[in-house]
Amino acid sequence: MPLQSIEPQRLYRQIAEQLRSLIGAGEFAVGSRLPAERELAKQLGVSRPSVREALIALEVEKVVEVRGGSGIYVLKPSARQPSRKNASAAVEWGPLELMRARELVESEVAALAARNAKKADLQQMEHALQLMRDEIAQGRIPRDGDEAFHSAIAQSCGNHVLRDTISTYWQARHGTLFERLGDHFEDDVSWEAALIEHAAVLEAIRARNALAARSAMRIHLKNAHKRYSASWRRAKPS
């Protein structure tokens, strides 16, 4: 029998596979509630963000159901979907891990934009903010405006590699895992906060203040990570 190639698995996928195996073996019965996120992280010896990403992956596959304010429950096998074996690398990035990478990279991109942005670039950022306001006013999730704003900053930074890197981040942002995380933790309050944070970034870029732009973007993405890391008990019920 020929040897098979071994593909490295992301940590959250390893956690998800272990939990799936335990569920299949009857360690967690159908309808039962899984241990709390904090307890799972302690038992597995991993971070809570990695556990959260694993639980989101299992929810997408309908292995478990996350009930805001209650907990995570095991679903019947008939409801389950096969795991995503052939998804692209970007789509398979863990959402919270992605947010940490964005915090590091996009903070520097914002600083470069403060030095290099042209008048037309600033107008694109302003239009993106207005699109966010319009989407919120219409009762829509302002994801189009959010992407347009960050993309406009990347376009203006003067570095094509960084611009393409940000584009790849957004490919991942449209992935199923990130969208499902948003379903739990994005709401009017979080988006209003993001809008205010975006305005602070734009103000710093318009003022040609690279230090302030870097700081404003870092604060925005750090806050975004915190919003996605909130207690499940504060998340919206599914």
Same-domain status, 220 and 189: yes
CATH number of the domain at 184, please. Answer: 1.20.120.530
In the prediction, which pLDDT does 31 show? 92
In the prediction, which pLDDT does 192 show? 94
Q: Per the domain annotation, does 175 fall within a domain? A: yes
Q: What is the pLDDT of residues 52-86, one digit of tens each?
A: 999 999 999 999 998 877 889 999 887 555 555 55
Same-domain status, 106 and 224: yes
Same-domain status, 107 and 59: no
Same-domain status, 111 and 221: yes
Same-domain status, 116 and 189: yes
- The domain of 116 spans 95-234
Task: Report the domain count for the chain.
Answer: 2
Let me know the angle formed at the C-alpha of 98 by 127 and 198, rounded to the nearest 5 degrees.
25
Q: Per the domain annotation, does 118 fall within a domain? A: yes
* Burial readout 68-88 (b: 16 or more C-beta within 10 A, e: otherwise): eeebbebbeeeebeeebeeee
Q: Per the domain annotation, does 85 fall within a domain? A: no
Residues of the chain under the 70 pLDDT cut: 1-9, 79-91, 231-238
Three-state SS letters, 36-80: CHHHHHHHHCCCHHHHHHHHHHHHHCCCEEEECCCEEEECCHHHC
Q: Which of 25, 51, 79 is the last residue of a domain?
A: 79
d(CA 231, CA 112): 35
In the prediction, which pLDDT does 147 show? 97
Of 54, 90, 75, which Cα lies nearest the Cα of 169? Answer: 90
